[in-house]
Structures are given as structure tokens and as C-alpha cells.
Amino acid sequence: MVLKSVELTRRNTLALAGIAGLAAVLAPRLSFADEKAVAEEIKKLYGDKTFGSGKIKLDVPEIAENGLVVPINVEVESPMTDADHVKSVHVFAERNPLPAVVSYRFTPACGRAAASTRMRLAETQNIVCIVEMSDGKLYMTKANVKVTIGGCGG
Amino acid sequence: MATKPTPRVRVPAQAKPGEIIEIKTLISHEMESGQRKDSSGKVVPRKIINKFTAAFNGKTVFEADWNPAISANPYQSFFYKASESGEFTFTWKDDDGSDYVATNKLTVA
């Protein structure tokens, strides 16, 4: 009798812990941005223009152990002359509470269209990078980062 | 914020004309995202550095707009094609309106 009640309690505790864990996983997602939010941000910047592929080397880790500090390096193929250079680069994270990560503006004086920084990622998601050239051409690339521990206020 | 943000910049002291040099910058700043809640459940107000600008002899070379997704103690690196001697001015703009500035000389020979 005593044994049985102990077992029940343990089972209850386990079940409760399971529900709490599930809630913790699901709850933050409700308020999070998604692919649509990123698409909207891009639309705000460039309207309905189409994006080419290639040219961009988006360097992010495949697996980030700590979502608080994820290195990101962007390099764009370009001669960086007055006539032909990279004007701006925008980086978005699809499943962060706020999708925008960073925007760079380059000038021909940079010599090389490359920059690196460190970002926070809330969870496993796609990183979207769009590039605008001086002639108005647009390019886009995506990369997936698996995040082991999220970095948005826990 | 207990301590004043301190910028640290690494620029080579000398470069050959036409050489592309890498500039690395780091500044101590908590980059409070405005997404976090404190122990009483109140949202901690946002306070980040929202813009980094690098200028050479007064002319803007490179700019970065930072969002709350940038990590604490933000790091930024970029490149510069050396053409003449002069001085870099790096400016970090805080949400509270303050500017943090660092300068670095570059000799081109």
C-alpha cells in the first residue's frame, strides 16, 4: 500500500515534469518570428525584387553550442571598385524574437567585402543573408545553424 | 551599467599602398536585448549599441547597424584598402545617446 502510493507520486512527478518541459519548449515559439517575418522585412527593404544566387560566402557554424555567441562571417565576391562594389549586406535570423541581426554598408575603400561579428540565436534556425550591389543587383543565401542552448533570455 | 564601455581596436601600424588590411574591433557592452525578464518578471529595457561606424580621415569607410541579436561585448571586423597615411575614427552609438570613440593612426609607405 505504502509502496504503491510512492510509485504513484513518482509517476505524477515525472508526468508533471514532462508537461512542464514540453510547455517550456513550446511557449516561447508562439511569440517568435518565422520565415514570414523575414520575408516581410526583406519586402520592406527591396519590394518584390528577385534575388540571384551565388557570390555570397556565408560562414556560420553548423552546430552552435552556445546560442549567445555565434560567430558569423560574410564575404561577397566583388572587385570593390567605384563602378562595381557591394553596397549593403543584411542578415536575418528566421526564428529569433526579432529577425534582424545586422546590416553592413560597404564602400570601395574597404577593398574586400567581408565582415565578421558574433550574434545571438534563440534556437536552431536558418540564417538569411541578402546583398545589394552598386548596380542594384540583389543576391540571397541561407544557412542552417543548429543551436544546442538558446541565447535569448533563457 | 557599472563600467564605461571600453573599445579595443587592432589596426596594423603600417601598410603598403594598395594593401588590404583587416581591422578588428571589440567593445565591452552588455547589449541588453530588451527581450529578457528580471527575477520579478519585468522586462529589462533594451540598451544596445545600435551603430558602429569606421571613418578614415573623416570619410566613412564602413558602417554596421547592430540589432539586439548581436552578442554582448560586440566584435566587428572588416577590411580596408590602404592608400594614404592618416587616422581611423571608430564610433559606437549607444541607445542612450552616448558615443564611444577610438582613433588609430595608420602609416602607409
For residue range A57-100, list pLDDT tens digits in order.
999 999 999 999 999 999 999 999 999 999 999 999 999 999 99
CA–CA separation, B65 and B93 (whole Å): 10
Residues spanned by the domain of B17: 7-108
Burial class of A62 by CB neighbour count within 10 A (0 to 12, 13 to 18, 19+): exposed
Q: Is residue B24 situated within a structural domain?
A: yes
Q: Is the pLDDT of residue A125 over 90?
A: yes
pLDDT at residue B55, as a whole number: 97
How many C-beta atoms lie closer than 10 Å to residue A99's C-beta?
A: 25
Q: Are B98 and B7 within 8 A, CB to CB? A: no
CATH code for the domain in which residue B93 is found: 2.60.40.10
Count how many domains chain B has. Answer: 1
Q: Is residue B19 situated within a structural domain?
A: yes
CA–CA separation, A146 and A150 (whole Å): 10
Q: Is residue B22 situated within a structural domain?
A: yes
Name the pLDDT band for A18 (thresholds 50, 70, 90).
low
B chain contacts of residue A103, beta-carbon cutoff 8 Å: 64-65
CA–CA separation, A120 and A97 (whole Å): 11
CB of A143 within 8 Å of any CB in chain B? no
Backbone angles phi, psi at A43, to 5 degrees: -65, -40
Q: Which of B9, B97, B6 is nearest to B55 (CA)?
A: B9
Q: Is residue B57 situated within a structural domain?
A: yes
CA–CA separation, A69 and B30 (whole Å): 13
Q: Are B58 and B46 within 8 A, CB to CB? A: no
Q: Is residue B2 situated within a structural domain?
A: no
**Whether B81 and A111 lie within 8 Å, measured CB to CB:** yes
**Whether A117 and B64 lie within 8 Å, measured CB to CB:** yes
Predicted ipTM beyond 0.90: yes
CB of B74 within 8 Å of any CB in chain A? yes
How many C-beta atoms lie closer than 10 Å to residue A86's C-beta?
A: 28
Residues whose CB is less than 8 angstroms from the CB of residue A18 and which lie 6 or more positions away in sequence, other chains included: none
The Cβ-side half-sphere exposure at A123, using a 13 Å CA radius, reads 14
Give the 3-state secondary structure of residue A105. Answer: strand
Rounded to the nearest angstrom, the minimum Cα separation between A120 and chain B is 5
Going from the C-alpha of A125 to that of each of A10, A81, B94, the distances in angstroms are: 36, 35, 28
Query: What are the pLDDT digits (tens) for B47-91?
Result: 999 999 999 999 999 999 999 999 999 999 999 999 999 999 999
Q: Is residue B1 situated within a structural domain?
A: no
